Amino acid sequence: MRLVLPPFMAILFGLTASFGQNKQLLYDFYEIPQSLMVNPGVKTMERWHTGIPLISGLSFQAATSGVTVNDLFANDVIDFTTKVQERVLNVMSRRDDFSSTSQIEGFNVGFRGKNRPDDYYSFGMYGETDVIVYWPRDLAILAFEGNGGPNIGRSFDLGDLNVRGEMVNVFHFGINRKMSNTLTVGARAKLYSSVFQFQSINNTGSFVTTQGEDNIYRSAIVADMELQTAGVEGFVDVLEEDTSTTRKDLTSLFTERTLLGGNLGLGFDVGFSYNINPQTTITASILDMGFIYQSKDVKNYTLSGSAITEGITVFLPEDVNDLDNDLWQQLVDDIEESLPYEENDTGYISLRPVKAYGSIRYDFGQGESRNENCGCAINVVSASNQEFYRNSIGGQIFLIKRPRGIQPALTGFYQKRLGRAFSLKTTYTLDKYSLTNLGLGLNFQAGPVNFYILGDNLLGYQNIADSHYASLQFGFNIISWNDN
Amino acid sequence: MRRYLLHFVCASLFLSLSISCSEEQNFDQFDDLEVTPLLASSILYIESTEDFINTSSVSGAFYSQTVNFDAFNEQFVSERLLEGIIIYEVENTTSKSINFTVEFLDEADNVLDVETFSIDPAPSGVLTREVAYGPAGKSLDILTATSTLRVTGSNLSDTTSTSSEPEPKFIFKSGAEFLFQLK
């Protein structure tokens, strides 16, 4: 088990870090307690709930807006270099990205206030890994094709390098309050404990080789680039030591960082649900408005300046007395002086990727009364309370702040409730990763045990290697309904 | 009816998620990736006025310099060098016949190769020469072993005449375009 756990955790925390973060299936799926995590103002019906530790909420998403695994690694007879040239270099733009996100709930508990039954409190802890790498188009072309031949005169944009990633443990506490029969609001405070973070997101500069003014070629570079890291060096140092205690040291460092021993930050979520009429509800939420102050184990790398060269130049008679034969090294030194590469340990603030959801839902198909064990004592509106409707249809919007701007997604959904025991939600989502994203979510309640599973982009499962987007969430909870 | 629907949905989801399939992938293909950029850079530029050339003795060198040049013998570069060309452009608007040589020397100052340019007085135009290295040209070993360039400019004419050209000069340009195997 000890051998299995580290790779398993690496997969959970690492590979899953490239998903699009949109949880359109979970959003407003209020039968699932974890829907509070994407809208603290969602309608709550439970008396209390507790997630089964470590398996109450697991989500993994991976996305690519450009090339897929199958595009490159399908076992065909096409030369691999040709595939890279035709399917990556010639096609992908600087706005294409590879992204991944994962979340693992450590624990998640919620309960209704004794004195204020309109309030539902929830708290917990979850780990999240999030990585996004934009395709560094110009740098890739420079590496593959070089600056010579047809690329003489082409300006390579150094700002194409744009990457951000982090692993963070989040402690949270939220309050969900029913303000009236039509309005529920909620807020959640978050304390972030960073395991590591890195970002290189504000790079500018260019590199160009042209016909020279004096000599044959003239190369000019202007750069203002920085890679900021926090928490990375500590892990690298442990790995480089490579002693018999390396695994133990890694575990110890990881545990320390997750339990508030690393860089800390604050954030909050807000949200609401509002019934425009008994059958129509609008909701919205904003998540992860927060920051982490990265001050420990910081190492930043900078390349800033400008340089122009046309090789070694000698002008006679001016340079006739310059008898130093180390002109090449002098040239290299001059360039390095004009374009210094430096390291520093200056702290910095990293912003969390802010997310926003909004939705409108229309309920229809009135079903039988659900007064029994349904939480209606809390959320009762009238005899036509929306909880009595079997069906819902609506639309959602999702926005996330990415290093290169706000990334939107639009979702249409249909939800079916078959009593309290079972409900399902289907979605169709449009975003930069896929135009054919069909999702399906199931929520099953067997007595107090709740199980949910939400799968996205189901058509992609026909050939998962050719999918631009894959997402899976599932979890187990124990739920107690209001017993009055 | 409800039971059938439940079974249907569960089966659909289970099939989608659990019995998902994938075409056969071959990740070993990555080993076949070839990254071979063509890199271009200037090497050496020398410019001399006619007045300076006139200061040299008859048939004597008006300029001779040994320049440390490790661009190609750095291990990272020499191991990845595939082929390429060195481009020379020589222009003479002076009234002199000029002989200009570039010698490629190794660390022990042994001459590995020599490029010689003899250019007539103006108007003689621009002499352009492209020297290939690699499978279709000279041995790459010349470059990878080169540690120093010795350049010598000699005046083969008198030391008093002056050209009628405006700002008469001797100009030597050189640059390179080489293909590297990064992977």
Nearest to A464 among B13, B20, B179 (CB): B20
Backbone angles phi, psi at A102, to 5 degrees: -140, 150
Tokens representing residue A305 in the block: 């300046």
Question: How many Cβ contacts (< 8 angstroms) between chains A and B?
Answer: 182
Closest residue, chain B, to A220 (C-alpha): B41
Mean pLDDT score of chain A: 87
Nearest to A152 among B5, B40, B48 (CB): B40
pLDDT at B20: 63
pLDDT, one tens digit per residue, over A424-456 is 999 999 988 888 899 999 999 888 899 999 988
Angstrom distance (rounded) from CA A382 to CA A361: 18
In which residue are the tokens 């508990």 written?
A: A109
Q: For a pLDDT cut of 70, what percent of chain A falls above it?
A: 90
Range with the poorest average pLDDT among A121-135, A225-239, B13-27? B13-27
The shortest C-alpha distance from A218 to chain B (Å) reads: 7
The shortest C-alpha distance from B33 to chain A (Å) reads: 5
The total of other beta-carbon atoms located within 10 Å of residue A246's CB is 13
Angstrom distance (rounded) from CA B31 to CA A141: 19
CATH (domain of A26): 2.40.160
Provide DSSP, A31-79.
TSGGGGGT-TTS---EEEEEEPTTTS-EEEEEEESS--HHHHHBSSSS-
pLDDT, one tens digit per residue, over B45-96 is 999 999 999 887 655 788 888 888 888 888 888 889 999 999 999 999 999 8
Instruction: Return all residues near A144 (Cβ < 8 A) that are at least 6 apart.
Output: A84, A85, A89, B35, B36, B37
pLDDT, one tens digit per residue, over A95-130 is 899 988 888 999 999 999 888 889 999 999 999 999
Backbone angles phi, psi at A318, to 5 degrees: -55, -40
Determine the structural domain holding residue A196 and report its residue range: 5-481
Q: Which DSSP letter does residue B18 get?
A: H
CB B122 within 8 A of CB B165: yes
Domains contained in chain A, number: 1
Confidence of residue B11 (pLDDT cuts 50, 70, 90): low
pLDDT, one tens digit per residue, over A397-432 is 999 999 999 999 999 999 998 877 889 999 999 988
3-class secondary structure, A8:
helix
Q: How far apart are the first and last CA of chain B?
A: 61
pLDDT at A457: 85
Q: Which DSSP letter does residue A88 get?
A: I
Residues β-bridged to residue A91: none
CB A264 within 8 A of CB A192: yes
Closest residue, chain A, to B56 (C-alpha): A317
Q: Which of A215, A325, A326, A471 is best to mutate for the B interface (most B CBs within 10 A)?
A: A215
Angstrom distance (rounded) from CA B102 to CA B67: 10
Contacts of B179 in chain A (CB under 8 A): 146
Pairwise CB contact (< 8 Å): B52 & A320: yes
**Planar angle of CA A241, A243, A244, nearest 5 degrees:** 160
pLDDT at A57: 80
Nearest to B42 among A311, A320, A442 (CB): A311
Enumerate domains of chain B plus CATH numbers: 45-161 (2.60.120)
Answer yes or no: is pLDDT of A18 > 60. no
| Count of alpha carbons within 13 angstroms of residue A222, beta-carbon side | 5
CB A36 within 8 A of CB A367: no
Pairwise CB contact (< 8 Å): B5 & A79: no
pLDDT at A327: 78
Pairwise CB contact (< 8 Å): A310 & B23: no
Answer yes or no: is pLDDT of A164 > 90. yes
pLDDT, one tens digit per residue, over A19-33 is 347 899 999 999 999
Tokens representing residue A391 in the block: 């069906």
Residue ranges with strand state E in A403-466 = 405-418, 422-430, 437-446, 449-456
pLDDT at A68: 86
Tokens representing residue A218 in the block: 């003239």
Answer yes or no: is pLDDT of B139 > 90. yes
Nearest to A465 among B13, B23, B30 (CB): B23
Angstrom distance (rounded) from CA A250 to CA A275: 50
Closest residue, chain A, to B4 (C-alpha): A418
Angstrom distance (rounded) from CA A56 to CA A475: 4
Answer yes or no: is pLDDT of A249 > 80. yes
Range with the poorest average pLDDT among A114-118, A216-220, A352-356, B109-113? A114-118
Q: Which amino acid is at B94?
A: T
pLDDT at A383: 38
Residue ranges with strand state E in A247-376 = 263-277, 280-294, 298-309, 312-316, 341-344, 348-351, 355-366
What ipTM was assigned to the predicted interfaces of this complex? 0.85
Angstrom distance (rounded) from CA A424 to CA A417: 6
Burial B127-164 (b: 16+ CB within 10 A, else e): beeebebbeeeeebebbbbbbbbbbbbbbebeeeeebe
Confidence of residue A8 (pLDDT cuts 50, 70, 90): very low
